[in-house]
Amino acid sequence: MNPSTLENHAQVFHEIADSRRSVRKFLDEAIPEDVVRACLEEALLAPNSSNLQTWYFRWVRSAGPRKELARACMGQNAAKTASDLIVITVRPHVWRQHCDWNLAHYPVDPAPKIVGTYYRKLAKMLYAIGPFGVLSPVKRLAFALIGLRQPMIRGLYSVADRRVWAVKSAALASENLMLAFSAHGYDTCPMEGFDKVLVHRQLNIPHSEEIVMIVAAGRRAPEGVYHESYRIPLDELLEKF
């Protein structure tokens, strides 16, 4: 790719990232279904740990379920006026099943030996915690001892650690989703203000899943952005070594 093309890509990305705002009110205009599906496909391109893809998306488009979900979102304008609501959850417990999926669908057949070793053995050791967390103290001690001699991954000792691990990947997918909507000319609002018990009940979400956020999407209303964008200066949030 030549430098001029890269410069053009950089400019386009800057415009998309700069235009993305948390929009609080949307026009009464539906997003075409193929656009929403394209944005969801682009969300799946987000980087994620070991390609285990423990995220899950619930696309709420029908008027009835959308109205009920907006109520669970504390009646926020973004939820009430959105064309579509995307509930993003994580399912950390599917990691073992997705190890097998990766091996079965690896782009090269047969998969390189190192890939097979990773998904059959190493990943299943790294992410396992055992029934009632029985492996947690064993892993904590083993990793600490290995870490005395060489760099070693720390963490993934508990259910809570695995939850944080899964949420990190889902957050990356959520950002991909919102930037995709921006690129297609639509807007979003990521929401954390909701009654998670009510959302679990309304959408029949298993208790084994954690809701990361709910993304409202639609066409921005003129009064949908409450103020100009502002951020803490980079130099106050950056340390260079």
Task: List the single range of 14-18, 32-36, 151-155, 229-233 with lowest mean pLDDT.
Answer: 151-155
On whether residue 235 sits in a domain, the answer given is: no
Domain that holds residue 35: 25-220
DSSP string, 202-239: HTT--TT-EEEEEEEEEPBPTT---S------GGGS--
Using CA atoms, how far apart are residues 206 and 90, in angstroms rounded to an integer? 11
Tally of CA atoms within 13 A in the half-sphere of 57 that contains its CB: 21
Specify the number of domains making up the chain.
1
pLDDT at 162: 94
> Residue 229 pLDDT > 80, yes or no?
yes
For residue 169, what pLDDT band results from cuts at 50, 70 and 90?
Answer: very high
On whether residue 106 sits in a domain, the answer given is: yes
On whether residue 141 sits in a domain, the answer given is: yes
CATH of the domain at 181: 3.40.109.10
On whether residue 195 sits in a domain, the answer given is: yes
Q: What pTM does this model have?
A: 0.93
